[in-house]
Amino acid sequence: MSLGSVDEGCAVARARAPSLTPTLGALSVSLCLVGCGGGPDGSQDGAETGGDPDDVIIEIIADAPSPPTTSPADASISGAPITDLATSGTEVFVATEDGPAHVVETNLDAVEVVTDGTTPASVGTILEARTIDGVAMLRATQGVFANDGDRLVYHPLSDFVADLEDPTLFGGSRSTDGTLALWILSSSGDYRLTEGMIHQWTIPQFEPTDGLTMAVESEGVALLAQGDHLVELTFEGGATRDLETPMGTVQHGVRDESARLYVGGARGVLVRTLEGALRHYTLGASASASDVTARIDQLVSRPGGGVYALVGNSVLILDDEDARIEELLTFETAPTKIDADGYGHLWVLRDGELTAFYTGEPVSFATSVAPIVGGVCNICHQNEDTGAVLIDWSDYDQAVERAQALGSRTKDGSMPPPGTGFTLTSVEIATIDRWISTGTLP
């Protein structure tokens, strides 16, 4: 166990209320204090800024168990000139030299350029792509764009971001009204968008002339970094406290599906649980800085819990729930970026090419595929009057014999035949594809 000290303070926010409609007017400006008179929600809760600081207990986990893992199936390679990527559930968006594109996952080697009436004909040069709490967001020279299903739409935050110096987007969480809370860090100041209001935050422990380098939040608490200085902020009351850790420079943060916060630094990963417990994974032999070799290059929320961590040339799985780390993939050259989608694919961008790896559990016929093909395909294939070949698709032996044809025809849309009134969803098609690519298990 390692003890760190707490410096408690009071975070200050200035609130700005933009018109969150596709047509933006001037931003109206009002002032409010969080924990020092009045919060963004109108509360008057005071923060405790005096008294003796509490102790923060940070558990050091230097050698988490690493169970053996099988190599994931290589699902596809897209040969487009790709420079960045972001995901939203089952949707994958990429930045290319020609602008944004949408990856059609039911035909994984196809890339469809996104065009839509609400998307400008040109977004300009794409500067960054982020996956923020399940929303794919692209910041470009012509504005900020967020996905609406398989389309990108102009985000009303665009004009505000355009006036900032060196802005970058970081992940928040869902507000009480269901909208996305978003951090915008910049040399001009650090802001949080939530429930239609933009608040500029000032953290008393940080140098006022330097900006934040990382922001991530979950369930009313945020972890904020300025270089190697990490602070925990509680939104209700605005209380802050220092978290003294041997993390080194902190640049990456993400929230997993269980609402844990994972923060990556020069020396491992710090995890904050929903209950407030803190654990530092050194990803090395011991907690001493000389033995810690894992600098975190990226963290991505993993479907089912935990995160994918990009560490140099390797991708690791880190799951705090059962305190395990396992090496998943190692490449000859370091990936530029990784991301994960709702299908269970890990997308790896290297040298301008995008590769999708299926990293979830193998799909079984009985539990996942039979309910799909037995329910839809058998309507015709078990009816002599339709003229279809008689096949019992709920029978494993008959289905596995025709697995490749099943996969190709469901992908190209010829099965079920057009005009029959029967269709498969993209998730159902992807499930059949995963069953085939992971071994056609019974």
User: Mind listing the pLDDT tens digit of every residue in the chain (442 residues)?
Assistant: 222 333 345 566 655 544 333 222 222 232 222 232 333 333 333 333 333 335 666 666 555 544 444 444 444 344 457 788 888 877 788 887 777 777 765 444 444 444 444 445 577 788 898 888 888 888 988 888 888 877 888 888 888 999 999 999 887 776 656 677 889 999 988 999 887 888 888 888 999 888 899 999 988 899 999 999 999 999 888 889 998 887 888 989 999 888 899 999 888 899 999 899 999 888 754 444 444 457 899 999 987 788 999 988 888 888 888 777 888 888 888 899 999 887 667 888 888 777 877 776 667 888 888 888 888 888 888 877 777 888 888 899 998 998 888 888 887 888 888 878 888 877 788 788 778 876 788 8
Fold of 60-358: Methylamine Dehydrogenase; Chain H (2.130.10)
Rg (CA), the chain: 24
pLDDT confidence of residue 64:
52
pLDDT confidence of residue 53:
38
pLDDT confidence of residue 271:
93
Q: DSSP of 130-170, one letter per residue?
A: EEETTEEEEEETTEEEEEETTEEEE-TTHHHHHTSSS-EEE
pLDDT confidence of residue 125:
81
pLDDT confidence of residue 25:
22
pLDDT confidence of residue 330:
85
**Contact in structure between 93 and 146 (CB atoms under 8 Å):** no
pTM beyond 0.95: no
236 vs 54: CA distance, rounded Å: 19
Phi, psi angle pair for 224, to nearest 5°: -125, 145
pLDDT confidence of residue 99:
74
Task: Give long-range contacts, CB 8 A cutoff, 24+ apart: 394-403.
Answer: 394/370, 396/365, 396/366, 396/370, 396/442, 399/365, 399/369, 399/370, 399/373, 400/365, 400/440, 403/435, 403/436, 403/440
**Contact in structure between 317 and 325 (CB atoms under 8 Å):** yes
Domain map (residue ranges) of the chain: 60-358, 365-437
pLDDT digits (tens, 9 = 90+) for 396-435: 999 899 888 888 888 788 888 887 888 887 778 878 877 8
Phi, psi angle pair for 5, to nearest 5°: -100, 165
Q: Residue 203, class by beta-carbon neighbours within 10 Å (0-12 exposed, 13-18 middle, 19+ buried)?
A: buried
